[in-house]
Amino acid sequence: MTNDQGKTRKPVEEAIEPEMPICDPHHHLWEHPNNRYLLEELLQDIGRGHRVVRTVFVECRSKYRPDGPADMKPVGETEFVRDVAAESRREPRGKTGVIEGIVGFADLTLGERVAPVLEAHLRAGGSLFKGIRHSVAWDASKDIASYRNPPRGLLLDPAFRQGFALLGKYGLSFDAWLYHPQIPELADLARAFPQVSIILDHIGAPLGIGPYADRRDLIQGVWKQAVADLAECPNVVVKLGGLGMPLCGFGWQTRSEPVGSTELAEAMKPYYGWCIEKFGVGRCMFESNFPVDKSAYAYTVMWNAFKRMTAGFSPAERLSMFHDTAVRIYRLAEK
């Protein structure tokens, strides 16, 4: 997560290849002071020309239960998103689907005691509830902001792993939000639990600020090796997105004029292209990470960039990365 998520980057392009179906497998909904991104804002973004036919919501600490046991408070977010999804279906939306999957939060360090929380999420979300994201993003530098402030090495923690093991029991996937130096720890987790489907969020967040600033070539080399090793784990897939976050160091937020899709495609391709090479199209899915990445570029421009950088792939390969992989991994309902 970053600051300035609500800053608007106005559309500067028309959608290219508007007929291509897209499943956006990573967006948030929230309402903070001076920072609102709810159904209305989501529909405005996805309704600007690209054919977004379904989406997946990923946890962001929205609308927790105000009282009751602390461990159960995150279930309020699932209840909230479930109701937003129902609201979206009550009004004509054309061929745009909104929130066909929910990824919530549960504290996996509870170990076996997390089971009632998982069951409560499943009761609240029903068939929409697909998985858990428990952020482990940690870095020693104070310049690197941390979401949920986890301790170092959480993926290796025995209690965390005891809770993680229950995801397999309940048929839930795990979204991994971490920074690039932690990717080897995720590979260790994936090898230990091959029965659990793991989704690497934001390509493992190659850092580019603080002590990582002005070291892009070196950092990219470390990241590439870690990604290649992780790709050897068949239970891991990767979300292609997130480079718009300020912590990646590209600085698109600070530009006086919004960045265009051609430039974006050129900057992103070395990263997303490497993931596609190592994971294969069947284990890659493009994501928006909105509204976090909204401070860097417009929704329409972002999908244009993804389409430009994959122009050399076959229609079937592109369909996999833009739609089918996400639908399969998140077990979305057939249409």
pLDDT per residue over 202-213, tens digit each? Answer: 999 999 999 999
The model's pTM is 0.95
pLDDT at 7 over 60: no
What value does the mean pLDDT of the chain take?
94
Contact 326, 281 (CB under 8 A): no
**How is the chain split into domains, by residue range?**
21-329
**CA dist list (Å): 221 to 7, 182, 206, 225:** 32, 14, 10, 6
pLDDT at 92 over 90: no
Of 319, 318, 288, 296, give the one whose Cα is nearest residue 26.
Answer: 288
In the chain, the percentage of residues whose pLDDT exceeds 90 is 90
pLDDT (0 to 100) of residue 10: 55
* Distance from C-alpha of 205 to C-alpha of 290, rounded to nearest angstrom: 15
Q: What is the 3-state secondary structure (H, E, C) of 181-193?
A: HHHHHHHHHHHHC
The hierarchical CATH code for the domain 21-329 is 3.20.20.140
pLDDT digits (tens, 9 = 90+) for 95-154: 566 899 999 999 999 999 999 999 999 999 999 999 999 999 999 999 998 899 999 999
pLDDT at 84 over 70: yes
How many C-beta neighbours within 10 Å does residue 88 have?
Answer: 18
What pLDDT band is residue 12 in, cutting at 50, 70 and 90?
confident
